[in-house]
Amino acid sequence: MASPPRGLPISFIVLTLFTFLPNPATSLRTSFIKLPGSDGSRSSSAADTYCESWRLAAETNNAGTWDVIPSVCVDSVAGYLNGDQYGSDYGVIADYALAFAETVQVSGDGKDVWIFDIDETLLTNLDYYRAHGYGSEPFESNSFNEWVVGGTAPAFEASLRLYNALKKLGFTIVLLTGRDEHQRSVTETNLRDAGYSGWERLLLRGPEDQGKSATNYKSEQRSKLIEKGFKIRGNTGDQWSDLLGFAVADRSFKVPNPMYYIP
């Protein structure tokens, strides 16, 4: 390390260093980096550029914990979700997942498992979020539960294609969702109406799972599967909390969802 310049006291140098260190008390929910347009004050082109960058940061889990999409990004997110890119992104990820699945030597004993999340993975709730600002409004559980009870969420075309291909390859399908146990019947009906069938297990939150983070709850459920002799070959979900934690799959595939974040 180079010696400090002559004439500068050590105390001055230390003070200068601390001036540029981030405050550890700053909330993780606060973004340290303010890109052009993030405060809504820049031009529409600058805002669009920022929103593309924000969406990339969110999808790659670099944005950390966030509650709602930036208000300046509502139009950008809406355009993405309603345009061709969303479906294309989904399709490419499904193709990669299937390509990996075809390399797995399925034993044929029913123990080779592929896990799917449900909401924004097998079923799309875009119609609900379209009416609620595409994720710009705080999540309201009562209105979302009313939507779930309606049982009209359609399938993602790419997910249904992947799901059926995995069944043909001999994988055992397990559905692991953050929905509550009392929503089992309507969830099963919605899945069947959307074209899904033949899953081995549908795992929902029971009373003992309330209050747990999604990461812990889903890790515990995967661990129980492993204890019963299942081998989790693949896992597909729209949230990092679907995929991370412990007892993870051999390979996990994150599908896009710029509307909300679940820790």
pLDDT of residue 37: 47
Pick from 170, 175, 165: which is nearest to 98 by CA?
Answer: 165
How many Å from the N-terminal Cα to the C-terminal Cα in the chain? 41
pLDDT score recorded for residue 41: 53
The pLDDT of 36-52, averaged and rounded, is: 73
Q: Please report which residue ranges of the chain form alpha helices under DSSP H.
A: 10-20, 44-59, 74-82, 84-101, 126-130, 141-150, 157-169, 184-193, 214-227, 240-243
Average pLDDT score over residue span 16-35: 40
Interval 219-234: pLDDT, tens? 999 999 999 999 999 9
Measured between alpha carbons, how far is 126 from 124 in angstroms, rounded to an integer?
5
Predicted local confidence at residue 43, as pLDDT: 65
CB crowding 178-194: b at 16 or more within 10 Å, else e: bbbeebeeebeebbeeb
Rounded mean pLDDT, 125-141: 97
The mean pLDDT value for 142-164 works out to: 98
How far is Cα 4 from Cα 7, in angstroms, rounded to an integer? 9
**Domain-by-domain residue ranges, the chain?**
44-254
Nearest to 254 by CA among 121, 70, 63: 121
Kindly state the tokens that stand for 233. Answer: 């070959």
Which is higher by pLDDT, 30 or 241? 241
Partners of 113 in beta bridges: 172, 232
Q: Can you give the pLDDT at residue 44? A: 76
Confidence of residue 36 (pLDDT cuts 50, 70, 90): very low
In percent, the amount of the chain with pLDDT more than 90 equals 83
The model's pTM: 0.84
Average pLDDT of the residues in 153-160: 98
Q: Which residue has the higher pLDDT, 30 or 204?
A: 204
Does the domain at 44-254 match CATH 3.40.50.1000? Answer given as: yes
Report angle CA 52, 160, 151 to the nearest 5 degrees. 90
- The Cα–Cα gap between 120 and 125 comes to 6
In 3-state terms, what secondary structure has residue 49? helix
- CA–CA separation, 219 vs 215, rounded Å? 6
User: Closest Cα to residue 75, out of 137, 31, 136?
Assistant: 136
Q: What is the mean pLDDT of residues 252-263?
A: 98
